[in-house]
Structure 1
């Protein structure tokens, strides 16, 4: 039996999906400027950015916050 998370707007959305949608909306350069995270500034790729964001909670929180602002 799965537990639902009605108060979590990110429930069920993969980090890869969030990153892809942000990239399509802003591009790497603008993401680097908005969030000030080096993984978007220095030779960014999906793979390297996902790897960094999965290991770095503060950076992931910034990305998730920007995503929520974008969809609202």
Structure 2
């Protein structure tokens, strides 16, 4: 019971995946979702039903969509490092934080975000360690 009280301030509390997806698709559309999240169910013959089916089976993708819902659609401030480690549905939103208007998103912004992510991944991958304990340079 105590756990239930803690999560009632989370906008995901009591919200089904189909309703969540319907809200963000109605606002942003599948093209923006694919551009920001890079999940194929939003690109190839997208529909609410097929996306829900995929997201129910795929935890990483569902969490990615839930994070998008909280921090882009509900436009909540980023969470503390302790809350960041928790899945989106188990995060506790502090009392003073309330959802705001959805963030303005564009295809151009999505492209910049993807470029930054690719750059970070490339920088991170330059000094990977392998079984011999020595970093390999690419």
TM over 0.5: yes
Moved beyond 6 Å, runs of 4+: none
Please identify which structure carries the higher helix content.
1
How far apart are 1:11 and its partner, in Å?
1.6
Q: Which has the higher contact order (CA 8 A, sep 6+)?
A: 1
1:27 aligns with 2:29: yes
Pairwise CA RMSD of aligned residues? 1.6
Q: How many residues align?
A: 71
State the partner residue of 2:87: none
Kept after mapping to 2: 8 A contact 1:39/1:49: yes
Q: TM-score, normalised by structure 2?
A: 0.48
The gaps in structure 1 that reach 5 residues or longer are none
The gaps in structure 2 that reach 5 residues or longer are 77-138
Separation in 2 of the partners of 1:27 and 1:67? 13
Please identify which structure carries the higher strand content.
2
